[in-house]
Each structure stands twice: as structure tokens, then as C-alpha cells.
Amino acid sequence: MRDVIRGKAYVLGHNIDTDQIIPAKHLVYSLADPEERKLYGTYALSGVPDQAAGLPAGHVKFVPDGQHRSEFRVLVAGKNFGCGSSREHAPVALQIAGVEAVVAESYARIFYRNAVNGGFLLPFELVESVWQRVKTGDELEIQVSTGTLRNLTAGEAYALRSLGDVIGILKAGDVFAYAKQSGLMK
């Protein structure tokens, strides 16, 4: 886990559910097969409707056609990110697409735990609602240790809630590596 995450923002609104993050019709691919695994990145956020709150006019595609990686490293969203089914593939798909962190007002509990337990991405919560002040394409920088989000494009900084006890799991890589390091399992 890096202490500084820097990259372009992709802005979403409230209630982005797991079927928008990775539509169920794309869950047929094997995560164990390297080529099929890439398809989870290809279809990440492909279920987000063009008119979703927070998306820019003309809807900027998250992953370009024919690719499995996005140029966007940080998702910025409103309330209840990752709601819907308990789809473990949602944070995996975002990681495969290149997302390193999600910054949201709040999360669905199961998405948050799947992201942390698998070590797929850093799920930060905003102290105040700022997702409407960040624009898709803005260059962002997250200082993990200080819990600060800087919008380098707009010249603004925002406070993030502490990752708290989950920081140990994220630093270890996933919940199993953490359990081994902590002596909770062999």
C-alpha cells in the first residue's frame, strides 16, 4: 500500500450499486484465467447510466473501448457507494481497471468489507460532501497517512475520515495476510 495515491478522478453520484460497478451479465468470466480476468476491468462501471448524477455531459467512458484499464485512478462518489448485492466481484473489477482508491460520502457495508478484506482498493470516506466540487478528469492526490485529499486541478484540499483499524489489513495486503502476520492463523 502506497502512502500517496495520485491520479485522475472519475466522479459518480449517490447509490452506485454493484450491478452498475460490474453488471451481472459479465460475471461469467473466470478470475483465474489471466485473459478472462481482464474482462472484469473492461466492463467496470459499464452499468452506470449516462444520466447518472455527477457524470459530465456526454458521459466520459470509464474504460476506453477495447481496453481493460482506465486512465482514472480515484473514484469520487456520493452516498451509499457499492449498494445492492454482496457481489465480491465489484471491488475486484475496479482494481483490475486500475482504481486504487474510492472516496465516497458513505459505503454499503458489504462493498466496504469486500474492498478491505481482499485488499483490492482503499475505501475512504469524506468528512464533508465534496463529490459535486470535483470534476471527472481532475488530478487528485491522496495522502493516506494524513487522511487528506487534494484536488491539484482546483487547488483545494479536503479531509478524509481515518481508515481506522482496517489500515492493518490494507497494509498487509488482505485479511488472510493480516491474520497470518497477527498470529491469528498459520
- Give the pLDDT of the chain (186 residues) as one tens digit per residue: 889 999 999 999 899 999 999 999 999 999 999 999 999 999 999 998 765 545 554 468 899 999 999 999 999 999 999 999 878 899 999 999 999 999 999 999 999 999 999 999 999 999 988 888 999 999 999 999 999 999 999 999 999 999 999 999 999 999 999 999 988 887
- Class assignment of domain 4-181? alpha beta
Q: What is the domain partition of the chain in residue ranges?
A: 4-181
Which residues lie closer than 8 Å to 101 by C-beta, 6 or more apart? 5, 73, 74, 75, 121, 122, 123, 124, 142
Strand partners, 141: 6, 150
Question: Between vectors from CA 90 to CA 85 and to CA 93, what angle results, nearest 5°?
Answer: 160
Cα separation, 120 vs 174, whole angstroms: 8
- How many Å separate Cα 186 from the centre of its chain? 30
Burial class for 99, CB neighbours closer than 10 Å (0-12, 13-18, 19+): buried
